Structure 1
Amino acid sequence: MKKFKGIKIVKRILLYLGVVTLVLFCLFPFLWMISSSFKTTFELYGAPPTYYPHKFTLASYIELFKGTFFARWFINTCIVAIGTTLLCILVASVAAYSLTRYKYPGRASFANFILVVYMFPPILLAIPLYLLVINWRIADTRWALILTYIANALPYSLWLLRAFFQTIPIELEDAAMIDGASRWRVIRSIVMPLALPGVIATSVFAIITSWNEYLFAMLFISSEVKKTIPVGLTGFITAHEDRWDLIFSGSVMASIPVLIFFIYIQKFLIEAWGAGGVKG
């Protein structure tokens, strides 16, 4: 009995060690980025490398905001990401509700064809989308990125929300409409609150997709002040100089909004999972 108990304890210790090792392995690049952003230029490029700054400095952050257009890049990225997420959620919610609540010819075929569009790699769509952007005269504008990102994120967002709407019993809507509620009232008061986990999951996908996107932002935006963070940060790597101090500090600043967003939506996601369709 004691032998089996000892084996069980050893297995649990090995499991915990494996988990800690994996977490440290995943966190190390992020911790290294934060540590390097506070190092002096001499220490950053020195050999051997140091794991933490021996002399703490904010010089790279000061230069990032005063000597570059990072503040404008940050604002552009926020506007594009928020605009893409809101419009994508709006369109995907309406389309997903239609696919799960109304019957019309081709509904099943359209639902199955949704993910086929998402299978195409973005590079194949670069030239057609670029021609559309030029013809619509929205090149070098935020709208070029917002519309492109919506087209990129909408198929998967629609499929994800469709799956969540299918789990909501239609009897709840029928009962509310019998009591006199309109279709819009049913959607607003019953369907969307119950589908909140799906809406949050879809918003996470949309905002990460648009926040980190590089290819289309590089193709459609030419003005320095209209660039987004991913494209702007790559400009610090040139044929003559690599400004890793600015890249590290810029990457830290770019990570903060996403981290705050995840922390903020956690409680809403947990509350939505715990909510039910019938109370009392």
Structure 2
Amino acid sequence: MKSRLGRTGFNALVAIIILYSLFPFYWVFKSSLESSFALNRQTSSIWPTQWTFVHYEAIFAVENFLRPLLNSMFVAGMATLLSVVLGSMAAYGLSRMPIKGKVPILGFILLVSFFPQIAMVGPLFLVFRHLHWLNTYQSLIIPYLILSLPITTWILTAFFSQIPADIEEAAMVDGATITQTITRVFAPIAMPGIFTAAILGFLLSWNDFLFALSFIQTPNMDTVPLALVNFRNAYYVHYGQIYAGVVIASLPIALIVLFLQKRIESGLTAGSVKG
């Protein structure tokens, strides 16, 4: 009886936490389906009083929201790819080679990820202006790489260290080369950590606002966060369009996380080692 009550209480607590976490997104989604008149009222209902998709139509027909989506997908994807490739190589060396001072090195790498973004804007702006890189994709990819590479390296180093080196040694004894051992034996086992690092790196890049605001100068180069801020003029803020843009911008993240979550679960099973 006690175990049943405890299980019921635990399930109720989990349900409350889930509802509490999802309620802000539901409110944004609900607001994106309401008319501008309903949004400007002093009181709001928990359910849309009048369903409309005019805000979704406006952000694509009037605001050309597709271009910021493509810009964000490109810069975030490139930064994530580079951080995973470079971070994997650095993490493999740190986890497998007998390097002195490995703990201080990892601590320094993690410390770099907490460096304030605002402190990097000024120096990067001067460098990009000298290189004529302002308002270009590389002016975003490089700063995003600065943000994502340290945390990617740190996560992958910790994950790679848990993979027994005996697996690679056995593969090389069977005649596999170093490249074959890494790509065919080590990489499939390491996929859970790689996908986890990719998720975090992509989220850091996708949600960035400060670097985009500092280095982007024309609307056709806007990323999603910067485009959402520009859904206003001198007299009026288009809250409905902002809500619709937030919903659309959140969908790629949700789909990517769900897709990678399945790969992580399968990778954890495939990566188990029998003693």
Judge same fold: TM > 0.5, yes or no: yes
Equivalent residues of 1:69, 1:225 under 8 A apart? no
What's 1:270 paired with?
Answer: 265
Distance (whole Å) between structure 2 residues aligned to residue 11 and residue 267 of structure 1: 30
Give the Å deviation of 1:179: 2.1
- CA distance 1:119–1:18, shift in 2 (3 Å): same
Distance (whole Å) between structure 2 residues aligned to residue 66 and residue 50 of structure 1: 28
> Does 1:90 find its partner at 2:90?
no
Matches within 5 A, 1:116-265: 116-265=111-260
Structure 2, unmatched stretches of 5+, are none
SS at match of 2:237: coil
- CA distance 1:274–1:13, shift in 2 (3 Å): closer
Match for residue 54 of structure 2 among 47, 53, 59: 59
Distance (whole Å) between structure 1 residues aligned to residue 177 and residue 3 of structure 2: 59
Number of residue equivalences: 274
Match for residue 24 of structure 1 among 9, 14, 19: 19
The CA deviation string for residues 107-160 of structure 1, in whole angstroms up to 9 with x for no partner, is: 554333211212311111111222222222211011111111001111111010
Give 1:37's aligned amino acid: S
The CA deviation string for residues 152-211 of structure 1, in whole angstroms up to 9 with x for no partner, is: 111111010011111111111112112221111111011111111100100000110001
Give the Å deviation of 1:19: 2.6
Distance (whole Å) between structure 1 residues aligned to residue 241 and residue 258 of structure 2: 26
Equivalent residues of 2:188, 2:271 under 8 A apart? no
Matches within 5 A, 1:40-59: 40-59=35-54
Structure 1, unmatched stretches of 5+, are none
Q: Percent identity?
A: 33
SS at match of 2:134: coil
Distance (whole Å) between structure 1 residues aligned to residue 61 and residue 239 of structure 2: 17
Give the Å deviation of 1:104: 5.0
The CA deviation string for residues 2-27 of structure 1, in whole angstroms up to 9 with x for no partner, is: xxx3x655554444333322222211
Give the Å deviation of 1:239: 4.8
- CA distance 1:51–1:199, shift in 2 (3 Å): same
Moved more, 15-24 or 81-90: 15-24
SS at match of 1:195: helix
Give the Å deviation of 1:237: 4.2
Give 1:63's aligned amino acid: A
Distance (whole Å) between structure 1 residues aligned to residue 132 and residue 253 of structure 2: 31
Structure number with larger C-alpha Rg: 1
Moved more, 83-92 or 38-47: 38-47
Give the Å deviation of 1:94: 0.7
- CA distance 1:9–1:165, shift in 2 (3 Å): closer
Equivalent residues of 1:43, 1:50 under 8 A apart? no
Distance (whole Å) between structure 2 residues aligned to residue 32 and residue 106 of structure 1: 49
Equivalent residues of 1:165, 1:191 under 8 A apart? no
Equivalent residues of 2:190, 2:271 under 8 A apart? no
Give 2:62's aligned amino acid: G
Equivalent residues of 1:89, 1:203 under 8 A apart? yes
SS at match of 1:52: coil
Give 2:47's aligned amino acid: Y
Equivalent residues of 2:91, 2:157 under 8 A apart? yes
Equivalent residues of 2:192, 2:268 under 8 A apart? yes
- Give TM-score, length-normalised by structure 1: 0.91
> Does 1:70 find its partner at 2:51?
no
What's 2:74 paired with?
Answer: 79
Moved more, 64-73 or 130-139: 130-139
Equivalent residues of 2:95, 2:157 under 8 A apart? yes
Give 2:187's aligned amino acid: M
